[in-house]
Amino acid sequence: MSAGGGRGYRGVVIGVVVVLAALVAAAVIGDTDEDTSLPYDPTSTGSSGTKAFVELLERFDADVELTDEYPPRDADVAVAFLDYTYGDEAQQRRLRGWVADGNTLVMADPSSTLTPFAELELRTGFDEVLERGACDLDALDDVRTLDPGDHPVARFRPSGEASTCFTNDLGSFVTVQAAGDGRIVAVGGPDVFTNGQLGEADNAVLAVSLLAPEPGTRVAVLGPPPFEELIDSGTGDPGALLDRAMELRGGLLLVELLVAFGAYALWRGRRLGRPVAEPLPSQIAGSELVVAMGDLLHQTRSPDRAARLLRADLRRQLCERLGLPPDVVPQVIVETVTARTTLPPEVVAFAVTDVPVTSDTELVDLARRVDAVREEVLHGTHV
């Protein structure tokens, strides 16, 4: 078949398939109102949801509220699995002011600017539990081990006075720092609180010790703010607003986009006139691009800066390819990539997480791993 005719036929097929997929997706979304696939959703019963976490706190007589208000109303303790205030300085100021008034914020997102500096711990085996190590937090006396499952964890290196627990040579998995009359508790990863991991090791004990230390504690579980609030505030560029819309209205918006694309494919699939051969654009190999960028940045004599730019570019491409928000934490990218490819988790974690790079050798090694992840995800057959 000639080039134009073949393209038109494939366009029709693609259009039909996409429309059917949209209808199926709409049916699935309509039948799963509560059991969503969003990570850390407090209403989800999936393995990555946190509904069991909420029910656990309620069994210990905590007054739990799911809210999108920053700061929360009538709460003694607030927990955030992801930092939805990222990039919104006004929200962060309000939340810090709420803490300073004598409240406690438990932030389980180690990439948050509300927590101390954190480094990723590349464990040799993801089946290993986290040992208590050094600890000066009396509230965690009954927490001996933690099991984050098949997920990377972060270790904090707090500056100034801070209480820490589960501390090793890399840093602490839990830190508590005073903020005015209140305190900010940093946890090196939210996965210990998910449905799939809450029953492992002493994860549940950690949750109760931090969030429900005594009966009647008013706990707010912080979720993403309403999309309308972003529009009304006038903050963020259109691309950021679209990304947040995808995050908050992902299911419905996905169906609408699939239907629109299907209609467009059907329309474009009909070709009139004689078939015309179209030259294919040449592609630059991903490895050549990475090496070229590495050589250029190496001339600045700052391997760590070059590494950060390489990783930032890879995270951007992976988020676009996998449909993730651009400001998602690296550990979510690691979990998503390893679930859809054959890449080892430690390789993906090293490629997307800003672990310091101090030498040319480490930079070259990073460039190779970045290229391997890019080739597997962007050009492989597993995604």
Residue 44 within any structural domain of the chain: no
Let me know if residue 204 belongs to a domain: yes
Last residue of some domain: 222, 239, 257? Answer: 222
Give the end of a domain, one of 222, 243, 264: 222
Q: Is 118 helix (H, G, I), strand (E, B) or coil?
A: strand
Residues 64 and 76 in one domain: yes
22 within a domain of the structure (yes/no): yes
Same domain (yes/no): 217, 237: no
Q: What is the pTM of this model?
A: 0.55
Boundary of a domain, candidates 278, 301, 317:
278
Decide if 211 contacts 76 (C-beta within 8 A).
no
Residues 135, 164 contacting (CB under 8 angstroms): yes
Q: Which two tokens stand for residue 72?
A: 């929360």
Question: In the chain, how many domains are there?
Answer: 3
DSSP codes joined into one string, 159-185: -SS-EEEEEETTEEEEEEEEETTEEEE
Which neighbouring-strand residues pair with 65? 220
In the chain (383 residues long), the average pLDDT of successive 10-residue segments reads 46 49 48 57 90 94 92 92 84 92 94 88 70 93 91 86 92 94 95 93 94 93 67 45 46 58 63 52 47 52 76 87 87 88 85 81 81 80 46
Same domain as 5, residue 63: no
Q: Do 169 and 214 share a structural domain?
A: yes
Which residue(s) pair with 121 in the sheet?
Answer: 153
Report the run of H or E that residue 186 belongs to, with start and end. Answer: strand 182-187
Sign of CA dihedral 142, 145, 147, 153: positive
Q: Please indicate, yes or no, whether residues 217 and 241 belong to a single structural domain of this protein.
A: no
pLDDT at 6: 47
Same domain, 55 and 200: yes
pLDDT at 268: 62
> 246 and 210: one domain?
no
Question: Is 42 a member of any domain?
Answer: no
> Which residues does 207 contact at the CB level (< 8 Å), separation at least 6?
53, 56, 57, 192, 193, 198
User: Closest Cα partner for 3 from 271, 274, 269, 277?
Assistant: 277
DSSP letters of 2-63?
Answer: -HHHHHHHHHHHHHHHHHHHHHHHHHHHHH-SSS--STT-TT--STT--HHHHHHHHHTT-E
pLDDT of the residue at 235 = 43
Q: Are residues 65 and 14 in the same domain?
A: no
Say if CB 211 and CB 174 are below 8 A apart: no
One domain for residues 157 and 184: yes
Q: What does the DSSP assignment read for 274-336?
A: S----PPPP---HHHHHHHHHHHHHTTT-HHHHHHHHHHHHHHHHHHHHT--TT--HHHHHHH
Q: Is 106 helix (H, G, I), strand (E, B) or coil?
A: strand
| 338 neighbors 254 (Cβ within 8 angstroms) | no
Q: Domain check: are 122 and 218 in the same one?
A: yes
In a domain? residue 120: yes
φ, ψ of residue 185 to 5 degrees: the values are -100, 120
CA distances from 234 to 78, 113, 230, 293 (A): 26, 22, 6, 36
Assess whether 118 and 265 both reside in one domain. Answer: no
Length of the chain: 383
Cα separation, 227 vs 171, in Å, equals 36
Would you give the distance in Å from CA 7 to the centre of its chain? 38
Q: Are residues 61 and 210 in the same domain?
A: yes
Residue 291 confidence (pLDDT): 52
With H, G, I as helix, E, B as strand and everything else as coil, classify residue 137: coil
Residue 2 belongs to a domain = yes
Residue 147 lies in a domain: yes
Residue type, position 257, single letter: L
Coil, strand or helix at 72: coil
Segments forming the whole domain that contains residue 373 = 286-379
> Would you say residue 106 lies in a domain?
yes
